[in-house]
Structure 1
């Protein structure tokens, strides 16, 4: 496999969502699973997409992979809109690979490690199949790779199975990994090893990654930038240190408050988000602790919180700027 692409030094946007909307029919209504998202992943950049279950982050990831077609807006790869022809999608999925959260469910129990990692190269008709399998296993830390070629998933530890899944992606020499909760099913002792592996692959191969997670602690340890998603839209984004040390959106503050080191957890009120019933004004206002405490009223923005929609946040790769879709945060900066 090639060590790096020739254009790895070009620090532009590699994978991008532009004003992306994805809707589904649900109980006679339309569920706006992704409701206007701008998101960019640059060459060699790791972006964490964070939010609670049901916020739309997995649908967004599937749409970026070409597994869902947007209702409106576009997915761009290398600056060009994604084509949905079978031939174009096959080529695209060699470049942008998915890593799932459950290695046990991702691997066929009847297939050996060799067969699991070789599946991609076989689909794409690559003649150097064995070399790719051996190299991919070695890159993920399964050394010597020959020791694992004829093993079955049940003979491996959870961490080893996740490395096999990552090796299956690496065998195609991708430019982007989309990792959906990559360590959620692993023991705490193994999570750090897999995160360190993803960082090493970024440094050695110039890989980009979008890491989908509900865990802000994971985002802190691996990401360059973080995008916080609530009810189908990015509500705060920016450099990970800036956003997670000094969050300005009340939702981000609430997510951070449940980390073990937080002195005072925030308990959100109201019902969990329903993508078929997105409220007017700020979509977070029915559950917002700032609004409930009267701080928004004292800042003179309570009416705007309840009735005035917020603009879709801009985004660019490697941006040093942070943005928050929040009337209260905006008023404090004025």
Structure 2
């Protein structure tokens, strides 16, 4: 896989007393639909522990519908979890208007579609200044903060862009305006949902390089939700692989993407152009959060179980009947919610 060269050495994640800047603990989100006896519950997020350390970039990867966007919304305070907690710098997130207003100054969203997220009737200056006005009203240094944010986002000299409208900008420039709108409040954490998915391949590397530079220069932390494992390789310190509402593999980017343990992670990696060999075609239907299987939630589509490898390892029955459990979300050992992977590594559920 290719890498993005930044010319700067990334700081080691973590710091201070080791408290994560952002943490999900036992987060579950259940959506219900229908009426009366026909009501159905969809477990969009079904038990997630995940930490983001100061100065760390965590990539949350998985297929569409696996729960990445919902988990991101929970971490932003846009969605309240059905159970579990979100913590910021060790303190549980409060959901009063006052608490959320203060929180959203420090944890900012970078949206997927810059064209859709920018008002076509507003200039670049007005779009970037909007966050300042929402959170603090018009301030004497507003113009200075807007130009500084644009400059940090790579739009230089910023004066060239202040009076432009979105239609006058390229896709990459529009995404930089969106990032500047987040930076203007000087947050500690960015939560980005597919931040380069709508951009041409030639522009993606520039935006990824920008995010790395912001981490190196400002100490920003980030959670980046993506289906693109190549993006994760280029930008992340750690990778959390999500399937049907739960993290099924977690470790450093080198561990997860160079030595994947979970059959689902292996299948995702097999379709990359650099992978070589035949891609793994998953059997069965795409996952339905209203019908989470018993045992390992991946077992109906698992090629290891279907091929008999799990049986030869003596774990086929466990795959069908025993839930591998929720992985611990902190930095540490490469962990996998897979009975077969644990049997191969000779680890127990508590240590895998």
TM-score between both structures, scaled by the size of structure 2: 0.91
Matched, 1:166 2:166: no
The 8 Å contact of residues 19 and 90 in structure 2, kept in 1 or not, is answered as no
Which of 328, 333, 336 is the matching residue for 1:321?
333
Matches for 1:115-134 after TM superposition, within 5 Å: 115-125=126-136, 126-134=139-147
Matched, 1:18 2:10: no
The 8 Å contact of residues 136 and 170 in structure 1, kept in 2 or not, is answered as yes
Measured after TM superposition, the shift of residue 270 of structure 1 is: 0.4
Measured after TM superposition, the shift of residue 127 of structure 1 is: 3.9
Match of 2:350 in 1: none
The 8 Å contact of residues 26 and 276 in structure 1, kept in 2 or not, is answered as no
Q: Secondary structure at the match of 1:264?
A: coil
Q: Deviations over 1:289-323 (max 9, x none)?
A: 1001110011110000000111100021xx24210
Matches for 1:271-290 after TM superposition, within 5 Å: 271-290=285-304
Matched, 1:62 2:62: no
Which of 242, 246, 250 is the matching residue for 1:229?
242
Measured after TM superposition, the shift of residue 124 of structure 1 is: 1.5
Measured after TM superposition, the shift of residue 10 of structure 1 is: 5.3
Structure 1 segments of 4 or more deviating over 2 A?
A: 7-12
Q: Deviations over 1:169-202 (max 9, x none)?
A: 0000000000000000000000000000000000
Match of 2:110 in 1: 99
Which of 225, 244, 267 is the matching residue for 1:212?
225
Matched, 1:49 2:60: yes
Q: Secondary structure at the match of 1:124?
A: helix
Match of 1:34 in 2: 45
**CA distance in structure 2 between the partners assigned to 1:46 and 1:118 by the alignment:** 26
Q: Secondary structure at the match of 1:13?
A: coil
Measured after TM superposition, the shift of residue 333 of structure 1 is: 1.4
Measured after TM superposition, the shift of residue 12 of structure 1 is: 2.9
Which of 299, 303, 319 is the matching residue for 1:305?
319
Matched, 1:254 2:229: no
Which of 269, 278, 282 is the matching residue for 2:283?
269
**CA distance in structure 2 between the partners assigned to 1:10 and 1:333 by the alignment:** 32
**CA distance in structure 2 between the partners assigned to 1:311 and 1:138 by the alignment:** 45
The 8 Å contact of residues 138 and 145 in structure 1, kept in 2 or not, is answered as yes
TM-score between both structures, scaled by the size of structure 1: 0.96
**CA distance in structure 1 between the partners assigned to 2:197 and 2:308 by the alignment:** 37
Matched, 1:187 2:194: no
**CA distance in structure 1 between the partners assigned to 2:18 and 2:338 by the alignment:** 30
Matched, 1:113 2:120: no
**CA distance in structure 2 between the partners assigned to 1:299 and 1:228 by the alignment:** 23
The number of equivalent residue pairs is: 326
Residue ranges of structure 2 left out of the alignment (5+ in a row): 1-13, 347-352
**CA distance in structure 2 between the partners assigned to 1:26 and 1:231 by the alignment:** 18
Measured after TM superposition, the shift of residue 204 of structure 1 is: 0.2
| More displaced stretch, 27-36 vs 284-293 | 27-36
Q: Deviations over 1:124-160 (max 9, x none)?
A: 2244211110000001110110010000000000000
The 8 Å contact of residues 8 and 206 in structure 1, kept in 2 or not, is answered as no
The 8 Å contact of residues 10 and 43 in structure 1, kept in 2 or not, is answered as no
Matched, 1:242 2:242: no
Cα RMSD (Å) of the superposition? Answer: 1.1
Q: Secondary structure at the match of 2:52?
A: strand
